Amino acid sequence: MEAIPLIRELIAAMRHGGFESHANELQRLLDELLGGSAQEQRHAAQTISANCHVKCYGDLNIHVPGNGSYPLWTHLSRIKDALAAF
């Protein structure tokens, strides 16, 4: 699933930026996505997708690799698109 490496990159960027609580919560959701029941996986995917918004994770001062003016927003959009199957 394309979303997994993107989410892991985001977690690393959060930790690097000092946002441990956000990183820990996202890691918990990723763990649910990878190993939870079908219901837990859907919940995790929906929660991660909802948080991949400019007013949530987009407000964090973190850096992810990418091009353009707002590479973080592009990264968040890619995660949302990859999770749309859930």
CA angle 12, 51, 2 (to 5 degrees): 60
Query: Which pLDDT does position 55 carry in this prediction?
Result: 86
Cα torsion 28, 82, 78, 47: sign: negative
Range of the domain at 26: 3-83
**7 vs 36, residue with greater confidence:** 7
- Tell whether pTM > 0.75: yes
Q: What is the mean pLDDT of residues 27-44?
A: 96
Whether residue 68 is predicted with pLDDT greater than 80 in this model: the reply is: no
**Total domain count, the chain:** 1
39-65: pLDDT as tens digits = 999 999 999 999 999 888 888 889 898
| Residue 59: Cβ within 10 Å count | 10
CA-wise closest residue to 6 among 56, 74, 54, 85: 74
Instruction: Round to whole Å and give the CA distance between 12 and 40.
Output: 23
Residues 3-13: tens digit of each pLDDT = 999 999 999 99
Does position 77 have pLDDT exceeding 80, yes or no?
yes
Structure tokens at 48: 């991660």
pLDDT given at position 86: 78
10 Å CB burial of residue 69 (0-12, 13-18, 19+) is: exposed
